[in-house]
Amino acid sequence: MMLRRQQWFYTLTRWQTFKQRMGTVAKIATCAVVMSLAACGNNDDPNGGGSANGGDDNGAGIKAMLKENFLDDPKHNINSIQVGELVRYDLEVTGTGDAKDFDYKFNPKSDPNGRHARLGKDYEAWMFTEANYKVYKDQKTPIAKRNKIMQEAELKETGMTIQPNAKYVMLVKPMCPGTFQLNAECTKTKKGEEKNIGADIPICFNCTKVEGWWFVHQDASVFHLFESHNKFYFQINDGDEAADKYLTQRENREITYSVIYNGNKYGGKFVEGRPILFYSDKPRLGEASNVHNQTITSINIYITELGRETINITYYDIKMNQRYSE
């Protein structure tokens, strides 16, 4: 049985910068403004952390605050998450009452809800104490010890025992593209009792799969001579579920791109899930020239919608490989 009183604090807008979001969270905490936003159910506002409170009539409550942290990786933010990357969240749990009388737990609530919430299938996750995470990140820490810390921090469907009035670092690794809406929670149970109180923690973000490649195109031969040239492509997928609409075209929405490659800039119309030819080098007699630079410096996606500011999503250092068919 679950007794629950919840207050939700969300970042106010999906497209704020990290610095702006942190300022927003601080203002919310300071002013104690209570907001009720269904961000996780809204594809127009799918990115967010937040905080929640739970309590009973005796004041034995629990509070959990979660926020994303990209300070270790300045080339990424909440809008440019890719498959296989680690997304860091900082979690702070506080509880009232005598800690020794209660059991605290973090529950990922793995769920096949079509919103990529299946732990071990849609994503992997790890929960570190703040102290253990510092040891894990320290390059001086032996590899064997780092591997042990990582193994012990792995989150299972059964959840993980946590401590009140403590800080944690949670790493989430998406295994597929899509709009992720995870409904985790922190619970507090009095020892010897079954009922508990909880604080829901929505974890919402978009994840894409970004690919780059080149293809050698051979032109028709004339007098047994032929010309060849390289054609360069990229493709971005935002997921296959019905709710995966991060980069989907719709009415009054225009999406364009710009690519920086070899110091040059190329641009055009973007279509999600389709190969986009952004550059072709000059044909030459015989074999095409060798591709020495196999990394796209950046791909920028610009989303323009009526009545809204233009959204800029940037993906850096996209590795390319050679393919043998278009």
Instruction: Calculate the average pLDDT of the chain.
Output: 83
> What tens digit of pLDDT does each residue of 113-132 get?
889 999 999 999 999 999 99
> What tens digit of pLDDT does each residue of 287-309 get?
889 999 999 999 999 999 988 99
pLDDT of amino acid 34 = 25
- Residue 9: pLDDT band by 50, 70, 90 thresholds? very low
**CA–centroid distance for 278 within its chain:** 26
pLDDT of amino acid 53 = 57
Q: What is the mean pLDDT of residues 265-293?
A: 93
- CB-CB contact of 264 with 255 (8 Å): no
- CB-CB contact of 206 with 180 (8 Å): yes
Select the CATH number that applies to the domain covering 209-323 from these four: 2.60.40, 1.10.287, 1.20.1530, 3.40.109.
2.60.40
Task: Tell me the domain boundaries of the chain.
Answer: 2-206, 209-323
- CB-CB contact of 282 with 288 (8 Å): no
Q: What percent of the chain shows pLDDT beyond 70?
A: 80
Give the separation between CA 25 and CA 277, rounded to whole angstroms.
Answer: 41
What is the pTM for the complete model shown? 0.79
pLDDT of amino acid 222 = 64
Q: How many angstroms separate the Cα of 95 from the Cα of each of 52, 59, 197, 198, 288?
A: 12, 10, 11, 11, 66
Does residue 219 surpass a pLDDT of 70?
Answer: yes
Q: What is the mean pLDDT of residues 239-265?
A: 94
- CB-CB contact of 107 with 201 (8 Å): no
- Residue 13: pLDDT band by 50, 70, 90 thresholds? very low
- Residue 45: pLDDT band by 50, 70, 90 thresholds? very low
